[in-house]
Amino acid sequence: MTTDDPKQRIMKLRTEIERHNRLYYIDAAPEITDREYDALLQSLDELEKRFPEFASATSPTQRVGGAPLDRFENVQHAVPMMSLSNTYSKEELVEFDRRIRRLIPEETFDYILEPKIDGVAISLRYEDGELVRAVTRGDGATGDDVTSNVRTINSIPLRLSDLMPPAVLEVRGEIYMDTAGFAKLNEERQEAGQEPFANPRNACAGSLKLLDPREVAKRPLDAIFYATGQLDGIAFDTHEQMLQTLKGYGLRITPNYWLNDTIEEILDQLDALEALRHEFPFEMDGGVIKVNERRLYEDLGYTAKSPRWAVAYKYEPEQAETTLHAISIQVGRTGVLTPVAELEPVQLAGTTVKRATLHNEDEIRRKDIKVGDRVIIEKAGEIIPAVVNVVKEKRTGAETEFRMPTACPVCGSEVEKREGEVALRCINLQCPAQVKSWLTHFASRGAMDINGLGESLVEQLVDGGLVKNPAELYALQKIEVLGLERMGEKSAENLIKGIEESKKRPFEKVLFGLGIRHVGKGAASILAKEFKNIDALMAADIQRLETIHDIGPIVGKSVVEYFVSDQARGVLNQLREAGVNFEQAQAGGSNELEGLTFVLTGSMESMSREEAGDKIQARGGKVSGSVSKKTSYLVAGESAGSKLAKAEKLGVTILSEEQLLALLGSDEKLKDQKAGQLGFEF
């Protein structure tokens, strides 16, 4: 076969994409940018459509299925999917150790400790290396077949990374949602008037139960694996060996685990692990202790529900009791009225908490929350404080019922509850609270990245009548902003300069900044690539939008509703007249930074970090948020913090802002630069 053989090209692309998936999700060492990855995926998709005879269910393009399911099939586990016994007591862990040593007095063994992830248990079945089924725990004997939903999780390989995989490999693990993704999902749900999830675990469970895989694909789900079920053609001597083998196959395992030969060392490590509790990107609610030597499992045996060679130790929930003094109302960017608990300040998870979300009126009624109550609060997803219940036995009779307002507390306009939603909304699009949230969103780093335009300044601009929508920012004059509080000559110049520079932001960032309901960064990027300019997007109908991969009817409806709005069209016309970019940049550009990974830290004088990142990526480089041995360069601006110290410790080359500018301005390939030309070595 020649390189022009379509089958060979398709197979080569699949292998390359799977390799990059592994580098990104398993090794945390990506070699290409998201843009380059998307281009590879698009090339493969186009080839597979041209040559359907080479279709494969395990192709990276086939993660999201077509039509929604009617129901989930209930299937039997080949090996029962047992749960672990739980304890909050270290004394019970000591007894666990004594019991094991009584059962196998002549044996020597190690314990292995892993972080306990608070997610949803899942079992994956691979046959000859291909994913054929994903099943929930259910009752341990049978569970729901959620294969079509699990296939949408990008970190789960559809095919194992091995030329000679076992005939059967069943792996067990946890579907989870990281805390940042959970917070963003709940924010989007509240803005859409939907009920927020109570915690990441509930969000995962709800996501896996969705009948439409296209909707599941939009949820920030991930997975970690830590056990096996049925095996054919493979065996493991130790639990650690099993973990490393799974990692070699391209399955994500826990980022840390510890081996110790005494329970006392395990107890010490549990304390150390608890101190790291908030360092993990997911809900970590304890540790799992297992005997490492798998040959001993049969001798140790099982109870009716759980193995005797493993136990889960759970940390106490991070909760605090305080008094709810009042309930205030926040009005969001899309007009949603959110009740907020005003609390007696209390320490929780290392911070002082004064406010907590109450989500909506239905939630207040369900929990029977009254003003004056003693309440229990906790960090939902370790991010957002929430009121979880009321201490009713401490009621005095002086507590009062709360009623949501019948008018917007900010502008006095009528409020409404839309069909199918739980939230009340202010219907006045010119409501100052909505305008402030809209402007803050528009100026944020993920959108137009207007340096210096934060909440405080936005509040002054709106309250002073200077700005009523994002387009009016571009008409601001220096003399107008000079009169604002804490605004000097230099600050005013920088603000006007930042606003002017934002006109050149990529189309996808402008689109995200418009604040269209349900259109996050991902959807904005997809729409920008699909339609290329604002006029083509405005002309699209709901049927056209629904056909786009990862868009679907909910986003499509929001986009259409936005563009038929007279107010939205007026703002768009103003933005266009101001010179804001409404076209997608053509693919291309130089690749002199290809293969290099940059981390940016500290403040920069000539541009924002976001802008510097865009320039690096436009030249083929990769921008990462964390320093590792794979980092090529750390760019250190003013007030560089812990990332600089870590880079120095790892021996990563440090660039100043001036060196980065010189590098970005070079027309030569990076490899042709002479050593020391910019004051550093290659």
27 is in an annotated binding site: no
Q: What are 348's two structure tokens?
A: 């929780």
363's torsion region: left (phi>0), alpha (psi -120 to 50) or beta? alpha
For residue 533, CA distances in Å to 235, 503, 525, 573, 665 come to 55, 15, 12, 14, 28
The catalytically annotated residue of 7, 90, 116, 367 is 116
d(CA 456, CA 484): 11
- Please give the C-alpha separations between residue 120 and each of 65, 142, 211, 275, 555, in angstroms, as whole numbers: 22, 15, 17, 24, 27
Q: Is 411 annotated as a binding residue?
A: yes
Reduced to 3 states, what is the DSSP secondary structure of residue 337?
strand
Taking the CA atoms of 593, 599, 603 and 609 in sequence, report the sign of the dihedral they define.
Answer: positive
> Is 658:607 a contact under the CB 8 Å cutoff?
no
Query: Does the annotation list 34 as a binding residue?
Result: yes
In sequence order, what are the beta bridge partners of 386? Answer: 357, 378
Is 204 a known ligand-binding residue? no
Is 669 designated active site? Answer: no
**SS3 state of residue 364:** helix
Is 144 assigned to a binding site?
Answer: no
CB 112 within 8 A of CB 266: no
Asked whether residue 290 is marked as a ligand-binding residue, the answer is: yes
Chain centroid to Cα 386, Å, comes to: 20
The answer to whether 480 is a known ligand-binding residue is no
Whether 90 has a binding-site annotation, put simply, is no
Kindly report the three-state secondary structure assignment for every residue of 90-157: HHHHHHHHHHHHHHCCCCCCCEEEEEEECCEEEEEEEECCEEEEEEECCCCCEEEECHHHHCCCCCCC
Give burial (CB, 10 Å; 0-12/13-18/19+) of 41: middle
408 belongs to an annotated ligand binding site: yes
Burial class of residue 91 (count of CB atoms within 10 Å of its CB; 0-12, 13-18, 19+): exposed
Flag whether 19 is marked binding: no
For residues 284-322, b (16+ Cβ closer than 10 Å) or e, as one string? bbbbbbbbbbbeebeebeeeeebbbbbbbbeeeeeebeb
Q: Is 94 exposed, middle or buried (0-12, 13-18, 19+ CB in 10 A)?
A: middle
> Which positions make up the binding site?
34-38, 83-84, 114, 137, 174, 290, 314, 408, 411, 426, 431
Q: Could you list the residues known to form a binding site for Zn(2+), using ranges.
A: 408, 411, 426, 431
Provide the annotated binding site for NAD(+). 34-38, 83-84, 114, 137, 174, 290, 314
Active centre residues (catalytic): 116
